[in-house]
Amino acid sequence: MRRSSDLSPEIAEESAWWLDAVFYQVYVRSFADSNGDGVGDLDGIRSRLGYLELLGVDALWLTPFYRSPMADHGYDVSDPRDVDPLFGDLAAFDRLVADAHEHNIRVTVDLVPNHTSNQHIWFQQALASPPGSPERARYIFREGRGYDGSQPPNNWPSIFGGPAWTRVADGQWYLHLFAPQQPDLNWEHPEVRQDLEQTLRFWLDRGVDGFRIDVAHGMAKPDGLPDMELHPGSSSAVLVDDADDPRFDNEGVHDIHRMIRKVMDGYPGTMAVGEIWVKDDQRFAQYVRPDELHLGFNFRLVEASYDADSIRSAIEHSLGAVAGIAPATWTLSNHDVVRHVTRYGDGAAGVQRARAMALVELALPGVIYLYNGEELGLPNVELPDWALQDPTWERSGRTERGRDGCRVPIPWEGGTPPFGFSTTANTWLPQPNEWGGFTAEAQLEDPGSMLSLYREALEHRKTNPAFAGDELEWYGAPPGCFAFRRKGGGLICALNTSGASVPLPPGQVLLSSGPMDGDQLPPDTAVWLV
Ligand code: NOJ
């Protein structure tokens, strides 16, 4: 039975609450540590709900907290229906959901259906069973190529570097698109489907409001597992969206999403968003057909360089792909990519541009996904070699540093590590000593801080009728600039990525990302007008 919700009645009633929601991604390891082991946990998140309410978010996305040997920090799941002791237990999870709902914040959780951990009971059974056995059939085991089978069954690289196949003692090979500790499941096996259905119901019955689906364009594999065309970057990019890549976006994946949707339709008011690294607009749109996922993660803003034309094109494609089918989703950063302050140039310029882009993103119709720490303006961290933990580092022969730099624990208060994140300074990734100025405490009362900008912008987004409507109208603008208007409510957003101040479109300034230059919009600044 689904637990009754602690959300306030007006909020609980809204079944399509996610249509324009602001989600906040909690990278659980790095958000808040309640037990002093240097790793964030569920009770830690619960202790910071007041902050999240103050920030003004509608829902959380929690990265995997399930039982896991942590070869990929939780994306290698050994039991998807239990909490890893590192993060707490099921009682801690129930407390978190209840308290989040008390704060009118919904809770969505990550699902990892493409693969399991190699410590999952199924994989252990597969290893203990002979080739051709039913135990092996839940994964993708094949004979190797070459006269003695010593070559992998095909030429696919793993996303984390090296081949996507590992050989076991009896000579067969198994497929892992990610690390060898993450064997890919065989989605043609009925038990694999049944198991995901059970996992969906398990968390829905505990009161979750939705799911983020990991590698939602993976799972289904092409018949015969054909070789792929290899080109520079195909083995080392963590996430790719190449239309000719046979590893992803295979037709069979849609049937899996229809199964997921069917289950979710039995739980009104819940939603699922897929991680879909698919660039082609039409193919992307297929994932959000009415009987598939409610939302698709869109990475176009993440991939756009900081210039008005690229950003405008990202916005137009994102809206165009899903027009009339689903709301668009917007993401500037997540736990897999370099934080956007750093992408935009780091230092003062990076911060200024990140402020401008926050206003661009928050002016757009649809669903926002914020990544923990972006509201504090955190940059990526250059970690020393000894601290690196992402499997990419070792798998790439120490040529790719991986994703640890965007996963450093959040600084909450005080002037020295662990900045209130934990009681130990021995945090799972070290925090830079100079992060005192980035703490939530330092920014909360400072009207010029990144945190204050996010709070103010989120407040307007939630309460101001100027944000109504799904469509945009674009104005003519000087080179390096753009301006759009929300057709329904009339909000205007202008961005200047050029080197000189430009005239403003007509209207009253509601909020700007930095000081205005008289009645002109200065470089690296965005403004909202009504
Ligand atoms: C995508 C996740 O976001 C990433 O962190 C993870 O490593 C891979 N999927 C594999 O599960």
pLDDT digits (tens, 9 = 90+) for 451-509: 999 999 999 999 999 999 999 999 999 999 999 999 999 999 999 999 999 999 999 99
The residues with which 367 forms a beta bridge, in sequence order, are 329
The whole-number pLDDT of residue 426 equals 97
Label residue 478 exposed, middle or buried (CB < 10 Å: 0-12, 13-18, 19+).
Answer: middle
Which of ligand 1's atoms lies nearest the C-alpha of 403?
Answer: 5
Please say if the pLDDT value at position 235 is more than 60. no
The answer to whether 378 and 352 have CB atoms below 8 angstroms apart is: no
Task: Give the residue-averaged pLDDT of 28-41.
Answer: 98
Which of ligand 1's atoms lies nearest the C-alpha of 239?
Answer: 1
Give, using CA atoms, the residue closest to atom 10 of ligand 1. 75
Which of ligand 1's atoms lies nearest the C-alpha of 160?
Answer: 7
Nearest to 365 by CA among 319, 320, 415: 319
Residues in Cβ contact with 67 at an 8 Å cutoff, skipping those fewer than 6 apart: 77, 78, 79, 82, 83, 84
Task: Give the residue-averaged pLDDT of 235-252.
Answer: 74
How far from each other are the two terminal CA atoms of the chain, in whole angstroms? 47
Residues in Cβ contact with 3 at an 8 Å cutoff, skipping those fewer than 6 apart: 97, 205, 206, 207
pLDDT digits over 261-306, tens only? Answer: 999 999 999 999 999 999 999 999 999 999 999 999 989 999 999 9
The whole-number pLDDT of residue 439 equals 98
* Residue 219 Cα to ligand 1 middle (Å): 13
List, chain by chain if needed, residues with CB within 6 Å of any ligand 1 atom: 72, 75, 112, 178, 214-215, 275, 335-336
CATH classification for the domain delimited by 471-529, as one of 2.60.40.10, 1.10.357.10, 1.10.3720.10, 2.60.40.1180:
2.60.40.1180
Task: Give the residue-averaged pLDDT of 247-262.
Answer: 97
The whole-number pLDDT of residue 9 equals 79
Please say if the pLDDT value at position 10 is more than 80. no
Higher pLDDT, 237 or 495: 495
pTM of the model: 0.97
* Residue 490 Cα to ligand 1 middle (Å): 38
Domains 4-113+192-458 and 471-529 share a fold: no
The residues with which 481 forms a beta bridge, in sequence order, are 496
The whole-number pLDDT of residue 240 equals 56
* Residue 287 Cα to ligand 1 middle (Å): 19
Position 495, amino acid? L
Mutate which of 63, 72, 241 to test ligand 1's pocket (most atoms within 8 Å of Cβ)? Answer: 72
The whole-number pLDDT of residue 3 equals 59
d(CA 235, CA 370): 28
Chain mean pLDDT for the chain? 95
The answer to whether 362 and 383 have CB atoms below 8 angstroms apart is: no
The band of 4, judged by pLDDT with boundaries at 50, 70 and 90, is low
The whole-number pLDDT of residue 42 equals 99
* Residue 165 Cα to ligand 1 middle (Å): 18
Please say if the pLDDT value at position 238 is more than 50. no
Query: What fold is seen in the domain 4-113+192-458?
Result: TIM Barrel (3.20.20)
The whole-number pLDDT of residue 388 equals 98
* Residue 273 Cα to ligand 1 middle (Å): 14
Domain assignments of the chain as residue spans, ordered by start: 4-113+192-458, 471-529
pLDDT over 70 for what percent of the chain? 97
Mutate which of 76, 336, 338, 369 to test ligand 1's pocket (most atoms within 8 Å of Cβ)? Answer: 336
Which of ligand 1's atoms lies nearest the C-alpha of 72?
Answer: 7
Mutate which of 159, 178, 184 to test ligand 1's pocket (most atoms within 8 Å of Cβ)? Answer: 178
Task: Give the residue-averaged pLDDT of 73-96.
Answer: 98
The whole-number pLDDT of residue 33 equals 98
Catalytic residue list: 214, 275
Q: Which residues of 236-246 are buried (b: 16+ CB within 10 A; e: fewer)?
A: bebeebbeebb
The band of 231, judged by pLDDT with boundaries at 50, 70 and 90, is confident
Task: Give the residue-averaged pLDDT of 9-29.
Answer: 90
